[in-house]
Amino acid sequence: GAVVSQHPSWVICKSGTSVKIECRSLDFQATTMFWYRQFPKQSLMLMATSNEGSKATYEQGVEKDKFLINHASLTLSTLTVTSAHPEDSSFYICSAKGSGSNQETQYFGPGTRLLVL
């Protein structure tokens, strides 16, 4: 099956700093990538959708200036949490959807756990 990776898997940062999370599709070209957030004991919440070369579309209530998304190539998307605060601590998960046989199915990365102190 299609493989999506994320880096880093764990990150701890101080309040006020920015953190960048990478999401890569390893064996297919991802025309669309999605970013989700999951708080403890809750389900995944979609944050934004990005298409390669276009600006991301954010879900209602998600601050686009705080969560910067770049999808510059067909295999890489990044999420930058700017000026992170403790309430941003969460499990961030990306997923990717491609073309051809992978067009309709979203494949998920392993997630990045962010802890803001």
- Binding footprint of other proteins on the chain (CB under 8 A): 1, 4, 6, 31-32, 34, 36, 43-46, 49, 51, 91, 93, 95, 97, 103-111, 113
Which C-beta is closer to other proteins: that of 4 or that of 114?
4
Say how many C-beta atoms besides its own lie within 10 A of residue 115's C-beta: 13
Residue 4 gets the label, from left (phi > 0), alpha (psi -120 to 50) or beta, of: beta
Q: How far is the CB of 17 from other proteins (least distance, A)?
A: 24
Which C-beta is closer to other proteins: that of 81 or that of 92?
92
Q: How far is the CB of 16 from other proteins (least distance, A)?
A: 27
Q: How far is the CB of 93 from other proteins (least distance, A)?
A: 5
Residue 106 has phi, psi (to 5 degrees) of -90, 135
Using CB atoms within 10 A of its CB, is residue 84 exposed (0-12), middle (13-18) or buried (19+)? buried
Which C-beta is closer to other proteins: that of 37 or that of 116?
37
* Nearest-angstrom CA–CA distance, 61 and 14: 24
Q: How far is the CB of 98 from other proteins (least distance, A)?
A: 10
Say whether 107 sits in a helix, a strand or coil. strand
Which C-beta is closer to other proteins: that of 1 or that of 86?
1
